[in-house]
Chain A
Amino acid sequence: MLIQVSWRNIWRSRTRSLVVITAITLGIMAGVFSTAFMKGMMDKRVETAIHTELSHIQIHDSLFRKTSELKYYMPGAEVLARKIDTLPHVEGVTQRIIVQSMISSAETGAGVKIMGVRPEDEKKVTDIAQQMVAGKYFEGIKRNPIVIGQKLARKLNVRVRSKVVITLQDLDNNLTAGAFRVAGIYKTSNTAYDESNVFVRYEDLARLTDLPAGACHEIAIRVDNDLNTVSVQQKIKKTAGGLEVMNWKEISPELSYITAVMDQYMYIFIMIILLALLFGIINTMLMVILERHKEIGMLLAIGMSRTRIFFMIIIETVLLSLTGGLTGVILGTFISKYFESHYINLSMFGKGLEQLGYSALVNTSINPEMVVSVTIMVIFTGIIAAIYPALKAIKYDPAEALRIE
């Protein structure tokens, strides 16, 4: 019956309650949507990083990762790669020769990381082949084709079929150079990556560096689902001898923290929204108990205990907050759901975002856990907001309250 009374009391001052409810609704809706938006952006960043840059698992000689020196290659890589390819959940395995070197066009030069890959294997692991903006992925050029990023192409002022020269040190530390022709230009959502990573064929780079047959610096593995990454990693570790087998979270820890950190930011963001709403709710409830001074006096007089009156006001405040909160959660979820399948286009800010590795096209991603937490936080806000007005109400003196005309 207390709940019934409290609920009806909310609608006594319809306009005032609606104003508060609307404020809560908008605040929570914005909170839920922003959270889904940020999470969508982060998820996309992680997904892009895995599918374009990192793959799920990488194998190196442990010294290579520290020094990037050519001599720390894995001699038996070919055999290991074949073995891994037969493991369950493995979708693709690619071997890469990696060399830090100079690339130069007729006009200028730049430092880049050159990866010697087998295009057919590489396609199964990363999606660079699907991100071509000019030319084709290792097609159309017979001798020494090279695939470079758009940002680098602009910097070097080269086009498809343009000639570039790669200068590097071979295994004996002799300076050596090779001429390549641009077969294709790719563009990912991360311009920093585009600027510094180029792809050539495995055989061409092996010849240039004098690397023995079947050797490479990096084996990159893609699994069917990120949930299987760790189990596949464990299996590989057993067969990989002394090599370093790392999953993407170990290779790029900052990336795996991004989501967790962002979640915390969003909680803080929502708490700030709720804090602002808190004072609005307190204000409303203070007006409520002031208006009902005489009524509360009557309730005390007829024998309603102060504890009960306290709870009646708490319930009313929580119901008020929850009405707005749930509406906000529902609307926020609804809007976020819509943008799960429709892009939000941020190309206005696209350049800046892509420099940081974020796509300008964002899909939201709702975290159901977050939705539940927000609802609980709204309830707590209601309770906290009610305490002061409720304490004030139970200090009323019935005899005095009843004298009010």
Chain B
Amino acid sequence: MNIIEIKDLVKIYDSTEIEVTAVNHINLNFEKGEFSAVVGPSGSGKTTFLNLLGGLDRPTAGHIMIDGIDLWSLKPRQITDFRLHNIGFVFQSYNLLPVLTAKENVEFIMHLQGWPKEAREKRAVELLESVGLGDRINSRPGKLSGGQQQRVAVARALASKPKFILADEPTANLDSHSTENLLDIMEKLNREEGITFIFSTHDARVVKKAHRVITLEDGKVLSDEKK
């Protein structure tokens, strides 16, 4: 079953002097439980594509249907709310709140969703345990390694029970060991709990693990391979 249907998606950056077509008529579908990588050289439109998909950037034309809802037909306020409840984000530079502990960072998004305190604390601890950080729940990001921070970020993305998780180059700042570890965790979550992951990368190790590889070039889909 498709959870995401992308129809004729176009994004043109219109700076006054030159127009840049970052995403050029993309048509793609994603199914529930996918573990897909979007790859391509820098400037190929990976990040733009993910931003459009995540409701962060408005497309110039085309539609993104998520579970039957046309994302960009929503009002800005509704899009923010849609992101909160339906999309999990993992960023290249982790982007945790430095003043909160690992547990509080995971809790924060559930707080935004209006979870009661006890339930969100319980779930935050469970999620951190599932990404192998059960012993670091009270550490602030500054005391954690890059790999550990990115695992907290994955736990945070999962906390809101999203329909899918978008990860923009999640391993770009990690060493090989941490990359391996993070991918194992993501793959396990995908396998065992059916979490849908869509990530952009140009890291060969990540590409190898992906179940589907979509290659972009100049804003167009060059190839779409399922393994």
Contact = CB atoms under 8 A, between A and B. Distances in A.
B83 A303 contact: yes
B42 to A, nearest CB: 13
B89 interface: yes
Contact of A300 (B47, B80, B109): B80
Contacts of A9: 99
A305 interface: yes
A402 B91 contact: yes
Given A294-B95, A308-B112, A301 B107 contact: no
Given A9-B99, A399-B56, A305 B91 contact: no
B224 to A, nearest CB: 24
A12 interface: yes
Interface in A1-30: 1, 4-5, 8-9, 11-12
Interface string B104-121: 100111011000000000
A1 B108 CA distance: 8
Contacts of B82: 303
A300 B57 CA distance: 12
Interface residues of A, number: 23
Nearest to B85: A303
Given A1-B107, A5-B99, A304 B112 contact: yes
A303 B109 contact: yes
A240 to B, nearest CB: 71
Nearest to B92: A402
A354 interface: no
A304 B156 CA distance: 13
Contact of A8 (B81, B100, B109): B100
Contacts of B95: 294-295, 298, 402
B107 A303 contact: no
Contacts of A405: 93
Nearest to A11: B99
B98 interface: yes
Contact of B56 (A8, A301, A304, A306): A301
B215 interface: no
A398 interface: yes
Interface string B184-203: 00000000000000000000
Nearest to A300: B80
A279 to B, nearest CB: 26
Contacts of A304: 80, 84, 112
Contacts of A4: 104
Contacts of B69: none
Given A301-B89, A399-B57, A402-B91, A12 B98 contact: yes
A227 interface: no
B91 A1 contact: no
B89 to A, nearest CB: 5
Q: Which of B89, B99, B107 has the most CB of A within 10 A?
A: B99
B84 A302 contact: yes
Nearest to A6: B99
Interface in B41-89: 47, 51, 54, 56-57, 77, 80-85, 87, 89
A305 B97 contact: no
B150 interface: no
A106 to B, nearest CB: 85
Contacts of A398: 56
A36 to B, nearest CB: 38
A305 B99 contact: no
Contacts of A301: 54, 56, 83, 89, 91
B111 A1 contact: yes
A399 B56 CA distance: 5
B98 A302 contact: no
Given A301-B56, A402-B56, 18 more contacts: A1-B104, A1-B108, A9-B99, A295-B95, A295-B97, A298-B89, A298-B95, A302-B84, A302-B109, A302-B112, A303-B80, A303-B81, A303-B85, A303-B87, A305-B77, A402-B95, A402-B168, A405-B93
- 8 smallest CB-CB distances across A and B, nearest first, come from A303-B84, A8-B99, A298-B95, A303-B83, A399-B56, A399-B57, A1-B111, A399-B51
Interface of B: 47, 51, 54, 56-57, 77, 80-85, 87, 89, 91, 93, 95, 97-100, 104, 107-109, 111-112, 156, 160, 168
18 contacts: A1-B107, A5-B97, A5-B108, A294-B95, A298-B89, A301-B89, A302-B83, A302-B84, A302-B160, A303-B82, A303-B84, A303-B109, A303-B112, A305-B112, A306-B77, A306-B80, A308-B112, A403-B47
Interface of A: 1, 4-5, 8-9, 11-12, 294-295, 298, 300-306, 308, 398-399, 402-403, 405
